[in-house]
Amino acid sequence: MRRHILAWLAGYCVLSIHPTDHRTTAFAQDAPQAHFIAIEDFADTPVDSLPRGWRWRGKDDDKPKLYAVRETNGRHYLAAQDTGHSVALFKQIRLNPHKYPIMTWCWRVDDLPAGADERYTETNDSAAAVHFIASKTFFLGIPRQIKYVWSATLNVGAIGRRKGIGRPWFIVLESGPEKIGQWIFEQVDLERDYQRTFTGNLPDTDKTRAIGVLTDANQTQSYAKAAYADFRAWPRAAAGHISDYCATLEESASQTTVLPQR
């Protein structure tokens, strides 16, 4: 039993530490005192490469990594697809979620995994998912994760958790094919979402672990394709003032095919 627990935990390890980019930029002319932290904009990664500073679970070492940084209108983004391998990428960060509780990013979905439903293991696929890993449990060291998803079938606003030890809570931000092919701006409140899932307060600064991305279609044996860009963290004062910065990423979805990488 102990061997199985240790193997399970090893699968969730982020393999190396890369400090968060703490460049800051004023978010609005009417509130110049507030700034954001650039968590990841993929700007320092060459095009057609895996993103620098991101790693994967040990169990995925031998799987193809179907992620690659692309460029459009002078901005880099991460293109992703899955044909049944289900590889998640993680970047370890040290973010103070009390000082910067608002997280934003851009994402786009081009293909949804057919019949996916995040509530059940046998259909647990998401066209696009962003993980926020806040801490680990004291006893087993299991990550406490919130998984923000673009679901194929569940309604926007749905919150749930699959049965089993250490499953992440998922929150549905987008659903279905209506916005396929469009870059969508997302804004979440990490403190609020942690309180309504794990029913407690977010841990202190040194307990924040990582963010992650996952585009997968392994359970439904189908296909998923998505893209991610410009992860930022903001102070609470910025809420309601953050403009949609995703529009300049618009391009033809045909330009985002990802070649298999290891």
Mean pLDDT of the chain: 84
Buried b (16+ CB within 10 A) or exposed e, 155-174: eeebeeeeeeebebbbbbbb
9: pLDDT confidence band, cut at 50, 70 and 90?
A: very low
CATH code of the domain containing 77? 2.60.120.260
Q: How far apart are CA 52 and CA 126, in angstroms?
A: 24
Cβ neighbour number for residue 88 with a 10 Å cutoff: 19
Nearest Cα neighbor of 205 from 132, 134, 123, 253 is 134
Q: What is the pLDDT of residue 261?
A: 46
Confidence grade of residue 209 (pLDDT, cut at 50, 70, 90)? confident
**23 domain residue, yes or no:** yes
For residues 170 and 147, is the Cβ–Cβ distance under 8 A? yes
Domain membership flag for residue 224: yes
Is residue 262 assigned to a domain? no
pLDDT at position 205, please? 59
Lowest mean pLDDT among 22-31, 35-44, 64-73: 22-31
pLDDT in tens, 146-184: 999 999 999 999 999 999 888 999 999 999 999 999 999
For the ranges 24-33, 98-107, 121-130, the lowest mean pLDDT is seen at 24-33
Residue 51 lies in a domain: yes
Residue-range definition of the domain harbouring residue 143: 2-255
Q: How far apart are CA 128 and CA 113, in angstroms?
A: 10
Domain count, the chain: 1
Residue 239 resides in a domain? yes
Task: Tell me the pLDDT band of 202, cut-offs 50, 70 and 90.
Answer: confident
Question: pLDDT tens digits for 78-121?
Answer: 999 999 999 999 999 888 888 999 999 999 999 999 999 999 99
| pTM for the predicted model, two decimal places | 0.84
Rounded to whole angstroms, how far apart are CA atoms 216 and 243? 29
Q: What is the mean pLDDT of residues 32-40?
A: 78
CB atoms closer than 10 angstroms to residue 8: 14
CA 214/CA 87 separation, integer angstroms: 7
Is the CB of residue 78 less than 8 Å from the CB of residue 215? no
pLDDT of residue 257: 46
Give me the pLDDT at residue 230, please: 98
The Cα 68–Cα 78 span in angstroms is 6
Q: Is residue 75 part of a domain?
A: yes
Task: Say yes or no to pLDDT of 217 above 70.
Answer: yes
Residue bearing tokens 């990664």: 45
